Chain A
Amino acid sequence: MIPTWRRIRARRVETSDTVTLELEHSPADAAPFRPGQFNMLTAPGIGEVPISMSGGAAPGAALLHTVRAVGAVSRALVALEPGAWIGVRGPYGTSWPVREARGGDVVIVAGGIGLAPLRPSVRAILDERDQYGEVVLLYGARSPSERLFPGELEEWRGRGLEVRSTVDVSEPGWRESVGVVTTLLPAARFSGPRSTAFVCGPEIMMRFVAMGLLERGVAPERLFVSLERNMQCGIGLCGHCQLGPLLVCRDGPVVSWKRAAPWLNVREL
């Protein structure tokens, strides 16, 4: 559980409570992670939290973590300025089946900060766009200004990704949808039975999105969600991240709906 210490090279404010930290290059980046995996990040003297990588899966790309200030440690991380050092352990956990999804359609559904763990998978898919059929990104956020990576969403659109955004609360000038992300599902352009789905967002949102995707014919074993539980070690020995039989740090965070659904539907498990 010993981290390596890395310097923050850049800090970009994404929304009112979320920043993206770019770390200085390290020889460790030569063995990059797989999209969907996470690192344990240490704010020195404060604590350690699991944060998914939001960029840097491709060799040479900057290692990015997008952090939302929700607790003591994430608040400390978000407050750090370029030049500060943080601890990094990882990569840990399972990943989005980016390769396995080749040859079919891909539906990516993100909610709020859930777009961050999906970003490396979007970029990996776009780098090999011709390997996939239809690729759709449905993104739900609280409001237009609470969306992550708005500039990139436009760029992705230009590279052959159908991007649809929706917000719970509109703002003046918003030209896209208003409503929950599930309302985008019926009209989205993909063939359910030919699709692999990646879903990341609040658990309630994922449950409803999964229902909508199943209705569209996506197979439960090809529908993947990213789970969140208390994690204190990342390596299956602290016991906190259990969801039924799953140790989310080890068997997740990315788990097929087929595997996750029986447990997600039990209250207080």
Chain B
Amino acid sequence: MSDLKPLLERHPFFAELTDSDLQLIVSCAKNVRFRAGVHLIREGDPANEFFLIRTGQVALEIFAPGRGAIDLQTVGPGEVIGYSWLFPPHIWQFSARTLEDVRALSIHGTCLRDKCDEDPRLGYRLMKRFAQVILQRLQATRLQLLDLYGKPT
């Protein structure tokens, strides 16, 4: 497990965490690999982990009868997938499917939540980071909703 620490250190998501933070997190992490076209996450399943993408592209998707799977957003190396583990009811709201072979770090949700409860400073730093990423995602979503390239009415 200890060989994962350099990978955590290198991932932009954890760039601002301290060495001791990473020491705590690494015990919740595992290195994972997915082939292209498989689901990391399925809408409706229990959510108890998140992924730091190291290589490859992942599509966030939602399924609609008659339309099939609709890609909402793609996420690539250096980015994060999965926020539903943070808050009850801990159920995935969307699905995530690999578009290519993907290498990622999976962080176990209960494990990390426990550590944050024990060490609120770590919890604060981590939440700050999550808030930043979620804000960026929100802003991108707002722009996407504007339909900027669509025809002005």
Which A positions have Cβ atoms within 8 angstroms of B?
17, 70, 111-113, 140-142, 146, 166, 168, 170, 172, 174-180, 182-183, 186-187, 201-202, 204-205, 208
Contact = CB atoms under 8 A, between A and B. Distances in A.
A178 B137 CA distance: 12
Contacts of B78: 186-187
A183 B140 CA distance: 7
Given A178-B71, A180-B140, A180-B144, A142 B149 contact: yes
B140 to A, nearest CB: 5
B144 A175 contact: no
Task: Indicate the member of A146, A179, A182, A202 with the most B CB atoms within 10 Å.
Answer: A179
B76 interface: yes
B149 A17 contact: no
A112 B148 contact: yes
B22 interface: no
Contact of B73 (A142, A174, A179, A202): A179
12 contacts: A17-B151, A112-B148, A140-B149, A142-B147, A166-B74, A168-B147, A178-B72, A180-B144, A183-B140, A201-B149, A202-B148, A208-B139
Nearest to A208: B143
Interface residues of B, number: 24
B74 to A, nearest CB: 4
B7 interface: no
Interface string B67-81: 010111110111000
Interface of B: 12, 57, 59, 68, 70-74, 76-78, 99, 139-140, 143-144, 146-152
A70 B143 CA distance: 21
Contacts of A168: 144, 147-149
Contact of B74 (A140, A177, A205, A208): A177
A238 B111 CA distance: 67
Contacts of A183: 73, 140
Nearest to A166: B74
B77 A179 contact: no
Nearest to B150: A142
Nearest to B143: A180
Contacts of B57: 177
A103 B68 CA distance: 47
A111 B151 CA distance: 13
Contacts of A208: 139, 143
Given A174-B71, A180-B143, A141 B149 contact: yes
Nearest to B60: A178
A113 B149 CA distance: 8
B117 to A, nearest CB: 31
Task: Indicate the member of A112, A166, A172, A177 with the most B CB atoms within 10 Å.
Answer: A177
B147 A172 contact: no
